[in-house]
Structure 1
Amino acid sequence: MQIQPNEQDKIAVWFGSGLSVREISRHLDRNPSTICRELKRNRFGDGYVAIHAQTLVNKRKIVSRHRHPLKNALVYSYVLEKLKESWTPEQISGRLELENGRSIICRETIYAYVHKDETKDKRLWEYLTLKRKKRKKKYGRKVTRVRIPNRVSIHLRDESIETRETFGHYEGDSVIGRQTKGRVIHTEVEKKTRYLQAIVIDSKSATDTLEAQKQIFTELPAKTVTMDNGLEFTKHEELNRLGIKTFFADPYCSGQRGTNENTNGLIRRYLPKKTSFDNLAQTELDDIVFEINNRPKKVLKFSTPFEALQKELSIIGIAFPNRM
């Protein structure tokens, strides 16, 4: 029989007064191994505190394994809540493990539940990234070949940029609305932390794009930016004058800027293709960016980009910008 709360109170008093495990077990008419196990599992620092012990017990109850993890009402409600917040099954699984110190439910279990026949009426698949019943093969966006003055190839970047050893290296791109001309979203993603910044601009022109980049890099330090070969980046040398090195991916190789491409895909969950940006307010975009930056990522060991950025800024001694 499990140790009860009133027994935990007595254990705390007796253990604190110096009684041995065998003496406590006699007082409670319990097996000494039961008392020893209780002290080992629910110890607080160098002692034993009843309320802390019960808190640990309750936490273990919440995440205890059932025959099927989703039969645990608390796990089920957590999974459902996070799906509705646009978390992926992988993020849900990883965050549960991070917070509880062990695996609670794997991502494939969540995917299987979402797609099983018995739950199709709940339409849970609509909360998944692509909102499709079946997965569809992905295709990269074509990049128009244009001449960029003094373009520097991505292959000349320092290797440490690719391995994400240092902070301050970005990947930039444009997210296009319904019209090929008109308002667009300029995005910059920091490679190490995966932290996203995005600004609505009036056009995809080189001038508007440059102004957006200057605004972003005024608030957070940048060492390099890697872009595609779009016309909007023809004024990249202005960034060089600010001490920011610029590099360009190979044509038709969006995978070379995978961090930005994947993050833009998250924006598309909120603003699907063919969505007009004519009435998109910056505050609305800020809300989207906030949600993305506060979603855990497997590559960050299920910390969030926001948490990763805070850590990096504290290391280099820079205050967190107010706008972020």
Structure 2
Amino acid sequence: MVRMEVSRIPKYRKLVKEDRILIARWRFEGYSRKRIAKLLGRAVSTVGREIQRNSFQGKVYEPLHAQSKADEKKERAWKAKQPLKNPQIYAYVLGKLRDGWSPEQISGRLKLEHPRDSSWQIGIETIYRFIYKKENQSRAWWEYLRRKQKRRRQKSGRKAQRTKIPDRVSIHERPGVVDKRKEIGHWEGDTIVGLGRKNGLHSAYERVSSLTRIQKMNSLKAEQASEAQLRIYRPLPKRARKSTTLDNGSEHVLHAKLKEELGMPTYFADPYSAWQRGGNENANLWIRYYFPKGTDFAKISEEEIQDVEWELNNRPRKRLGFKTPMEVFTKHLRGCSSC
């Protein structure tokens, strides 16, 4: 009778506590894995994996211990599917949103801080879906986003333009000295987009001193971006322009001009990894404080832009021991980094 009853169990059903009790009993009675599988109506591989994964210390198969291990695995899988149900992750994500971080920055930072714990690695889309979830609308978390859109655009309207950048060198091939922030001259660069994507700014951030340079772009074409970068770096001595790391925007396809004209190599961050240029991203947030989204830079004078640059470079920073970026940059140029 037992054989007939258990053989009717659907093969697709997951093992449950009763199955594990039967497996333990039949193993004790000396049944082979093949016979147990036949009695349960399951594949031999299913029974084999169950015994191998959930045995106590890898030797003794005890049904209650096996069920406990299976429950733990199920809970981990559930948390992985719904990471923001974890109160620690929830608090982290919400805290960073309040600090002005984008979902992209939060996702990237979590991967950096928890490289071996997949339960803490959350995709960008997961964070966006959580913010715009129907039951969360009353909390208005969308107000923490830079665009502050109450309703999210359809995904079809958010497709990124993929542009192949010639002679692109990955950030992972960048010399290790850049990461150590011991010598000046290694920069990060990005484009700040103006009203209607008609114009913008190129911002450059020096990694050691936090010095920020800004140049106007009359359009978002590659020629304008290249000219803006040359205007930023050409006046600097060679030791202060050793490299720059850019994002993957199409406006950077002429990046090789920096190396051709100034001997300055360029590197590119991974796609959707703005956190790899974290200093530049933070500088852009401050620039946006003065020039909010929707600014028409055609109406902004060069003098206004230089005033903002001066403000940013002459404000004391905690990271610099409350020295200003200009002070630190100047002292490094003089060969006195500890002054």
| TM-score normalized with structure 2 length | 0.51
Shift of 1:146: 1.8
Q: Which consecutive unaligned segments of at least 5 residues does structure 1 have?
A: 1-87, 89-133, 317-324
Match of 2:276 in 1: 256
5 Å-filtered alignment, 1:75-224, equals 137=144, 144-180=161-197, 182-220=198-236, 221-224=240-243
Rate the CA distance shift 1:151–1:136 in 2: closer, same or farther, 3 A.
same
Does residue 242 of structure 2 align to residue 226 of structure 1? no
- For 1:253, the aligned partner's letter is S
Shift of 1:139: 7.0
8 Å contact 1:169–1:190 — kept in the other structure?
A: yes
2:177 aligned counterpart, secondary structure: helix
8 Å contact 1:249–1:257 — kept in the other structure?
A: yes
2:298 aligned counterpart, secondary structure: coil
- For 1:192, the aligned partner's letter is V
- For 1:250, the aligned partner's letter is D
Structure 2 CA distance for aligned equivalents of residues 225 and 190 of structure 1: 9
- Of the three residues 296, 305, 309, the one matched with 2:329 is 309
| Per-residue Cα deviation, 1:155-185 (whole angstroms, up to 9, x for no partner) | 11111101211110010111111211x2211
Structure 2 CA distance for aligned equivalents of residues 143 and 309 of structure 1: 36
Structure 1 CA distance for aligned equivalents of residues 264 and 250 of structure 2: 19
| Per-residue Cα deviation, 1:285-317 (whole angstroms, up to 9, x for no partner) | 10011111111111111111011111111118x
Structure 1 CA distance for aligned equivalents of residues 232 and 324 of structure 2: 20
Identity of aligned residues (%): 39
- For 2:223, the aligned partner's letter is T
8 Å contact 1:143–1:228 — kept in the other structure?
A: no
Does residue 255 of structure 2 align to residue 236 of structure 1? yes
1:278 aligned counterpart, secondary structure: helix
8 Å contact 2:181–2:208 — kept in the other structure?
A: yes
8 Å contact 1:185–1:199 — kept in the other structure?
A: yes
Shift of 1:215: 1.3
Shift of 1:143: 6.5
8 Å contact 1:143–1:251 — kept in the other structure?
A: no
RMSD over equivalenced CA pairs, Å: 2.6
- For 1:150, the aligned partner's letter is D
8 Å contact 1:142–1:252 — kept in the other structure?
A: no
Structure 2 CA distance for aligned equivalents of residues 280 and 167 of structure 1: 30
Structure 2 CA distance for aligned equivalents of residues 239 and 190 of structure 1: 16
Rate the CA distance shift 1:214–1:191 in 2: closer, same or farther, 3 A.
same
Greater displacement, 252-261 / 135-144: 135-144
Structure 1 CA distance for aligned equivalents of residues 280 and 160 of structure 2: 14
Structure 2 CA distance for aligned equivalents of residues 292 and 142 of structure 1: 33
Shift of 1:137: 4.6
Match of 2:266 in 1: 246
Q: Tell which structure's C-alpha radius of gyration is larger.
A: 2
1:167 aligned counterpart, secondary structure: coil
| Per-residue Cα deviation, 1:239-275 (whole angstroms, up to 9, x for no partner) | 1212111100001110000111100100011111112
Structure 2 CA distance for aligned equivalents of residues 244 and 233 of structure 1: 14
- Of the three residues 283, 289, 294, the one matched with 1:269 is 289
8 Å contact 1:144–1:229 — kept in the other structure?
A: no
Shift of 1:145: 3.2
Higher relative contact order, chain-length normalized (CA < 8 Å, sep 6+): 1
Rate the CA distance shift 1:143–1:223 in 2: closer, same or farther, 3 A.
farther
1 or 2, which has the higher helix percentage?
2
Rate the CA distance shift 1:191–1:144 in 2: closer, same or farther, 3 A.
farther
8 Å contact 2:194–2:294 — kept in the other structure?
A: yes
Match of 1:283 in 2: 303
Rate the CA distance shift 1:168–1:202 in 2: closer, same or farther, 3 A.
same
Structure 1 CA distance for aligned equivalents of residues 235 and 160 of structure 2: 29
